Amino acid sequence: MILRDVVIAGVYASQQARLIEDRTPMQLAIEVIRGALDDAGMAMDEVDGIAVDWPGPGGAPGDFGSWARYFGGSLNWIGESLFSTAGVRGLAQAAAAIATGQCDTIVMGGGMAGTEARKRFATVSAGSAREFFDCWGAYVAPAFALIAQRHMHEFGTRPEHLAEVAATIRNNGSLNPEAVMFGKGPYSIEDVLSSPMISTPFHLLDICLVAQGGAGMVLTSRERARDLPGKSVSILGIAQEIHDGIYVHPPVYRADGRLGKNALERAFGMAGLAPADVDVFCLYDPNSFEIIRQLELLGLCSEGEGGPFVAEGSIRRDGPHPVNPEGGCLSYSWNGVQQMTLKIVECVRQLRGDAGNRQIQGASIALATVGGPGAHKFEAGVFGLA
């Protein structure tokens, strides 16, 4: 088997909302497992690998071995940590297990629900790891802002460029019935620029949501998927790039501004494709500037030209390079870690032609990315119908 023989056979996204109080995290995890398997047309007894978050009760939180007794009492593979359950990084680990023949069918995913879950997530990276970070009052948004601010200084990128990205993606989310921000807006550049400043240059509307919800995926072999009722999606290329631990050091543009360029080249190289071949871009958007930065990494415009590039309407749904048609982390959802999985879920839906009123016509190649300089890591996956 090679990488592209590993397919995503099923995807599931739960309700996404500011607060989900009618389900426990455990119930949400079970919901995404069942949802993804139903979407694949597969049964629980066929699953032999799990990377779904185990929130408890019963068994230590994060010990995925606790799932085994619901899957026939024996698994051939489990994921290692919260990041194994989500996004391109989790997908890469699971795909490697299947591609090397260690197991046949993996369910991955999880979700955040309720006020207790929010507290647990907040303590993920506390302690002396952030000795030279927390004491300055640094946190996620200002860390990313350091990159945007330097880019504006070096290349003349303007707040209006960031606002164009924010307005475009939020207006996509406004039309998506599944989005946390469904029905809100529409937003203009002026609306973004007049929203409260959080950390220069980011206004409130330049920064992603904080919400809850879950997602899940089923991976299996292309061979197995031939007998399944639905359309499966091949993983054509996948790569990561890691510069540092998370939130230990500040990002600096000269070292971290191009974080992801190598991962993208590897992923596209594996796929035998170029960024110009991509029909739909599901790019990680913790803030609006990250879209500008990634367009430059992709070479769709040169370094420093991302601002004017988006000002031309390049990333709109009817533009040449549609970005985050479902609303992204800015307005569809951010739910702890599974927003990373939602990038891939949207890729799959677009490639299947299942994206409803946000369908990009004729989508046959999709790109999902996760991470950014603030977190010193980046992941990219290239997808096409199997």
Q: Kindly tell me which of 195 and 359 has the beta carbon lying closer to another protein.
A: 195
Q: Looking at residues 163 to 202 of the shown chain, list those that interact with another protein (rule: CB under 8 A).
A: 196-201
CA 337 to chain centroid, in Å, comes to: 8
* 134 touches another protein (CB under 8 A): yes
* 274 touches another protein (CB under 8 A): no
* 304 touches another protein (CB under 8 A): no
Q: What are phi and psi of 93, to 5 degrees?
A: -65, -45
* 137 touches another protein (CB under 8 A): yes
SS3 content of the chain, % helix, strand, coil (to 5): 40, 20, 40
Q: Looking at residues 68 to 97 of the shown chain, list those that interact with another protein (rule: CB under 8 A).
A: none
Interface residue with another protein, options 82, 86, 146, 208 (CB under 8 A): 146
* 138 touches another protein (CB under 8 A): yes
Is the separation of the CB atoms in 355 and 129 below 8 Å?
Answer: no
What whole-number distance in Å separates Cα of residue 339 and Cα of residue 333? Answer: 6
* 131 touches another protein (CB under 8 A): yes
* 208 touches another protein (CB under 8 A): no
Q: Kindly tell me which of 248 and 276 has the beta carbon lying closer to another protein.
A: 248
Q: Kindly tell me which of 60 and 135 has the beta carbon lying closer to another protein.
A: 135
What whole-number distance in Å separates Cα of residue 160 and Cα of residue 166? Answer: 10
Q: Kindly tell me which of 77 and 247 has the beta carbon lying closer to another protein.
A: 247
What whole-number distance in Å separates Cα of residue 121 and Cα of residue 118? Answer: 5
Q: Kindly tell me which of 132 and 223 has the beta carbon lying closer to another protein.
A: 132
* 127 touches another protein (CB under 8 A): yes
Q: Which two tokens stand for residue 202?
A: 């980011």
What whole-number distance in Å separates Cα of residue 52 and Cα of residue 302? Answer: 39
Is the separation of the CB atoms in 264 and 278 below 8 Å?
Answer: no
Interface residue with another protein, options 9, 36, 147, 175 (CB under 8 A): 147
Query: Minimal distance in Å, beta carbon 126 to another protein?
Result: 9
DSSP calls for 111-165:
EE-HHHHHHHHHTTT-SGGGTTTGGGT--HHHHHHHHHHHHHHHH---HHHHHHH
* 248 touches another protein (CB under 8 A): yes
Is the separation of the CB atoms in 284 and 369 below 8 Å?
Answer: yes
Binding site for another protein (CB under 8 A): 127-128, 131-139, 141-142, 145-147, 149-150, 153, 196-201, 248-250, 252-253
